[in-house]
Structure 1
Amino acid sequence: MCQFIETIRIEDGKAVNLAFHNYRFNKTRRDVFECNLPVNLADYIQPGDYSGRTKCRVEYQEEVEKVEYLPYTVRPVNRLRLVTSDGLDYTYKSADRQKLDELFRQKGDADDILIVRDGIVTDTSIANIALWNGSQWETPEVPLLEGTMRASLLGKGRIVPAVIRPQDLSRYSLVRLFNAMIGFGEVEFPVENII
């Protein structure tokens, strides 16, 4: 099994945020495998062959090992359960999601979990988050995974980093979930739905 994955959204024949995926892909290869020669994921994917929203899953270690394309539908999420996992490390987008899956099983009647690590709110099991404070969208300063959509939104100034503790959630009114496959604003609900 490959150790790492990149999930790239193909939208109407175009790869979304490919530069951010290339950056994370090559950073992982450099940090984990000491591979200093950059690789361009555009050389491995064929986005023009797909219409609508398609999930392109790239598995890799030192080099790209497998590319697959899957239809994608955004899963509805309207309620999150806070779960704690101190010390959880998901710095790199690993194919091994065992720890995240174990945490997800604690969701009870919620749709997903919101992970608290070392007293700080981070991510859900599948997405980065942003919280509306009345004037701007704030995202956890230190997420579990630095997502490509998050990097894009930070670069555009649409979200700003902040330290967010569970007791701070009442300062916010709305929460948005987003990742490479879920656009900013596609999944949004009241903060009261975080239990």
Structure 2
Amino acid sequence: MCLFIETIRIDNGKVCNLSYHNRRLNDTRAHFWPESMPLQLSGYVHPIIHEAGIFKARVVYGEKGIEDVGYFPYVVRRVHSLALVQADGIDYTYKSVEREPLNRLFALRGICDDILIVKQGLLTDTSIANIALSDGTHWYTPKHPLLKGTKRAALLEEGILQERELKPEDLPSFSTARLFNAMIDWGELELPVQNIIP
């Protein structure tokens, strides 16, 4: 049975970007199970009112609906360097519980903290996050990521990010890289582009 996940940031009791998670969850269910009824995550994910700090709500779902919701304290894993890893055959279009292909690539990081996956000659994502590159004026994110993240969707709609086809050979044109996802806020995790290692 196919199972998928949404990881949702709860920031001091506030559920973040829920409409984007709702959209992706229902798009995924409509793709795999066209007869499925839309779900509203607001009926399943609840702020942890009595807890301060950042929590991750992990929602597991499938054909029959929501299977499980768990809440976990969250601390950002620091990333100071990325190893470029080639993986032309990888597909992570849908946020699945099955991450073994990503885990195998992550194991190739060598001395780096994480990887930046190159697919068909284009930059995509790290093992856990979307990426954006700055030329000092604008922020660009890969046009063809492995996973269209919910934070990425929000930043594109807000005009903070622009999509662009980015190749490894373009990296010297940029100064700074930012990693972001539903749990890593925009600007919370960045590194110099020179720390992306071929």
The number of residues matched between the two structures is 195
TM-score with structure 2 setting the length: 0.96
Contact 1:169 1:191 in 2 (8 A): yes
Contact 1:2 1:65 in 2 (8 A): no
1:134 is matched with which residue: 136, 141, 160? Answer: 136
Partner of 1:7: 7
Partner of 1:162: 164
Report the residue type matching 1:59 in the other structure: V
Q: Which whole-Å deviations, capped at 9, do the CAs of 1:51-102 have from their partners, x for residues lacking one? A: 2100000001020000000010000001000000002110000000000000
Distance 2:158 2:20 in 1: 13
C-alpha RMSD of the superposition: 1.1
Report the residue type matching 1:112 in the other structure: D
SS in 1 for 2:91: coil
Partner of 1:67: 69
Distance 2:18 2:35 in 1: 20
Deviation, 1:27, is 0.3
Change (3 A) 1:2 1:46: farther
Partner of 1:37: 37
Report the residue type matching 2:145 in the other structure: P
Larger deviation, residues 179-188 vs 2-11: 2-11
Quote the sequence identity (%).
Answer: 53
Partner of 2:20: 20
Deviation, 1:135, is 1.2
Distance 1:13 1:38 in 2: 25
Residues 1:149 and 2:134 aligned together:
no
Partner of 1:46: 46
Deviation, 1:35, is 3.8
Distance 1:161 1:87 in 2: 22
Moved beyond 6 Å, runs of 4+: none
